[in-house]
Chains A and B, each alone.
Chain A
Amino acid sequence: MTELKTSVDFKKIDEILKEYNYNKTNLITILQKVQAIYRYLPEEAISYIGENIEGLSPATVYGVVTFYAQFSLEPKGKYEIKVCDGTACHVRGSMPVLEAVRKKLSLQNGKMTTPNGLFSLETVSCLGACSLAPAVVINEKVYPKMTPDAVLIIIDTLLKENE
């Protein structure tokens, strides 16, 4: 996993901090923007944000990062697969979909990103797309009414694109 971690360009973080006036009320947005660059939040980036926003500290920013499921301390894949496990999706069979993906990508021991950094997998709570249950979102695209077979076809397509 460590090879996926990148060194942090603090100038880029400075730009983001400046854009949001170093204001602590903008912390979530700042973290989202930084995560968009690295596909995760590197520890140094968290420290840097904590040290440079008045009223915050590395420990408090770390607290926010670990509180919200949307933030990750480990690099996410090029394709972020989100399997909805809200009530509607759950009863419509989201778990078999999740299991199929996990098997296909050989994700084990709680690891949620493939060693090559191509895919990461997570479950999310309700996406608000209950009429499409069970729904899967890969990056920004929504895939409706998933089945284990359907989701594997999608992954195969993505794999081919990246050969």
Chain B
Amino acid sequence: MTDKKTLFINDTEVEFTDEKTVLEVAKKAGIEIPTFCYRPDLTQFGACRMCVVEVEGRGIQASCTMPPRAGIKIYTNNNKVRKIRKAILELLLAHHDRECTTCSKSGSCELQKYSMEYGITDIPYVKMKQEEFSPIDASSPSIVRDMNKCILCGACVRACSEFQGIGVLGFSERGSLTKVQPMAGKPLKDVNCVNCGQCVSVCPTGALTIKSDIDNVYDLLNDKEVKTIVQIAPSVRVALGEMFNLPSGENTIKKIYSACRKLGFDLIFDTNFSADLTIMEEASEFVERLTKGENLPIFTSCCPAWVRYMELNHPDMLNHLSSAKSPQGMLSPIAKEIAPKFYEGFNKENIKVISIMPCTAKKYEAKRDELKGETDYVLTTYEFAKMIKQQGIDFNNIDEQEADSPFGQYSGGGTIFGASGGVAEAALRTAYNIVTGKNLENLDVMPLRGVDKASRSKEAAVDINGQTVKIRVVSTLAEAERAIKEVKEGKADFQMLEVMACPGGCINGGGQPSACKDLKTKENRAQGLYKEDRELKIRNCHENPDIIRLYSEFLEKPGSHKAHELLHTTYSNKSQKIKV
């Protein structure tokens, strides 16, 4: 006898095993129950009540918080349930700025979607007046907060405290006055927000959106005096397709190059190239620190949300951060300083660099005092997809093209930057080569892979010339904080710490199409990157011919004076905490 358990959904017998909620059981059985606040990566909250179902003998229950029990009979969409859901939608809409046409979330808004599906045609309540609206907070370089569109599902509050351990957003007041806001309603720029955009990513409505730079980029594209250089980050290529109904994880980079040319960008470089470059600098910095025994463990520095987190919360440990700029931060000065030597008509003064990133924090990074004037504008994957649509480009049927080279070629090591663990894996491949002169026998460092909840902290140990080097990889700042605590207490036995603020890494960044409703999306995107890594001829960053040429003709060697000038940066204490 097996312990097979079943329950009934809409009179059909359905098997279940270890699912925690009726909602999950239904989903597995092919029935999608509508919900706003349910996010499988966050704790269940039961706030929005959209997921109500009728349970025989127990009345109406929220399926996102109800554990499955053998034999129960559930109706997910009978007339009673439909009427309740309609009433919920009407009540949510009663207190909502319903100007959908001017909302940047229009088209991907869950409230809009369900209102349409449930046929809401009339709201029997008084419409909110303009003077009752709260002001929009556009103070942050990355995120726009419009509380007139908030439905109080609390997903952002949970994301900020559960993923990042920061808790910038919280509920305040109560009853009909309840709102979600930073401490005392301060603007986002004045609180310790790291701009990761996970709140945007889990928001079902237009309450939290990406700050758009689309118009700024159009201005550059239409300026005949300006030469535009675009760079595309690793994880954009495996997520952008989703905005055009392609499966998640499908690598569309060659279509992206083509779309960039159609949009009018003059040169197309790949951030994967500068990811290779980041590894060259970071791996040699790592080897140097290992040899000298200084500032260990080294902390990776490519995630701008993590860098800001360190500057805000652990200014005493900034010496651990690698001084290497992020891939975005490296490619922009290369494009402005060195590319003119290869491309006619380009000079430092007329070049503007636009980067396409999976990340809202990259917008902040581009505005950092230390990096000002290098990257001109940052578009997120979401914004870039919008531009492609606006220009009427048929993305699915577009021809495939190549990037411009030099500065367009890349290795597998650069590609895997997009998944949590990828930077460490690529760095390990190159560090091993620097020390031993040989390549790792097996380039796949499997223990560092995985983007699910259980893989938010992982470790690998590798023997390099008789010395065991231990690497810790974490994603989410809550996990990073735990690792930092170990370092502070002297308990850390690892020499390198890779941190990505978003759960699973950049593939799940705040600028990507939202992946918060289905855990498989993250997984598919990561697999898309590892697949490209396997299939590329060159998998080691140090073997990229564009990289070798860059060093031999311009930068001498990793860590050289010239390399430091262009490719390294500094950090400073930005703590806002009250000092006593």
Report which A residues bind B (CB closer than 8 A). Answer: 10-11, 14, 43-44, 46-48, 50-51, 56-60, 62-63, 66-67
Contacts and interface: CB of A to CB of B under 8 A. Distances in A.
B577 to A, nearest CB: 5
A29 B184 CA distance: 21
Contacts of A14: 580
Contacts of A66: 172-174
A123 B183 CA distance: 27
21 contacts: A11-B580, A44-B578, A46-B183, A47-B183, A47-B578, A57-B161, A57-B170, A58-B167, A58-B182, A58-B183, A58-B184, A58-B191, A59-B170, A59-B172, A59-B182, A59-B183, A63-B170, A63-B171, A66-B173, A67-B171, A67-B172
B167 A48 contact: no
Question: Which interface residue of A46, A48, A62 has the most chain B CB atoms within 10 A?
Answer: A62
Interface string B160-192: 010000111111111000000111100000010
Interface string B540-578: 000000000000000000000000000000000000011
Contacts of A57: 161, 166-168, 170, 183
Contacts of A67: 171-174
A59 B169 contact: yes
A97 B315 CA distance: 56
A50 B580 CA distance: 15
B306 to A, nearest CB: 18
B577 A51 contact: yes
A59 B580 contact: no
A51 to B, nearest CB: 5
Interface of B: 161, 166-174, 181-184, 191, 577-578, 580
Nearest to A51: B577
A60 B167 contact: yes
A39 to B, nearest CB: 19
A2 B168 CA distance: 26
A83 to B, nearest CB: 21
Contacts of B166: 57
Given A57-B167, A59-B167, A66-B173, 16 more contacts: A43-B184, A44-B578, A50-B183, A51-B577, A57-B161, A57-B166, A58-B182, A58-B183, A59-B168, A59-B169, A59-B172, A59-B191, A60-B161, A62-B172, A67-B171, A67-B173
A62 B578 contact: no
A11 B580 CA distance: 8
Contacts of B577: 51
Contacts of B167: 50, 56-60
A100 to B, nearest CB: 28
Nearest to B181: A59
Contacts of A60: 161, 167, 170
Nearest to A8: B578
B172 A10 contact: no
Q: Which 9 A-B pairs have the closest CB atoms?
A: A57-B167, A59-B170, A58-B183, A63-B170, A10-B580, A60-B170, A66-B172, A59-B183, A63-B172
Contacts of A59: 167-170, 172, 181-183, 191
A20 B173 CA distance: 25
A14 B166 CA distance: 21
Contacts of B171: 63, 67
A48 B173 CA distance: 20
Question: Which interface residue of A43, A60, A63 has the most chain B CB atoms within 10 A?
Answer: A63
A47 B192 CA distance: 12
A57 to B, nearest CB: 3
Contacts of B191: 58-59
A51 B578 contact: yes
Nearest to A73: B184
A51 B170 CA distance: 14
A62 B580 contact: no
Contacts of A43: 184
Contacts of B168: 57, 59
A10 B182 contact: no
B170 A48 contact: no
B181 to A, nearest CB: 7
Nearest to A50: B183
Nearest to A60: B170
A59 B173 CA distance: 11
A63 B166 CA distance: 15
B183 A10 contact: no
A56 B170 CA distance: 10
B184 A62 contact: yes
Contacts of A62: 170, 172, 183-184
B173 A10 contact: no
Contacts of B578: 10, 44, 47-48, 51
A22 to B, nearest CB: 14
Nearest to B169: A59
A44 to B, nearest CB: 6
A66 B184 CA distance: 9
A58 B181 CA distance: 11
Contacts of A10: 578, 580
Contacts of A46: 183-184
A56 to B, nearest CB: 7
A14 B579 CA distance: 12
Nearest to A10: B580
A105 B532 CA distance: 76
Contacts of B170: 57, 59-60, 62-63
Nearest to A45: B578
Contacts of B174: 66-67
A11 B578 CA distance: 12
Contacts of A11: 580
A59 B181 CA distance: 7
B70 to A, nearest CB: 36
A51 B580 CA distance: 12
A87 to B, nearest CB: 19
Nearest to B579: A10
A35 B351 CA distance: 58
Question: Which interface residue of A48, A57, A59 has the most chain B CB atoms within 10 A?
Answer: A59
A72 to B, nearest CB: 14
A60 B167 CA distance: 7
A67 B179 CA distance: 11
A46 B578 CA distance: 11
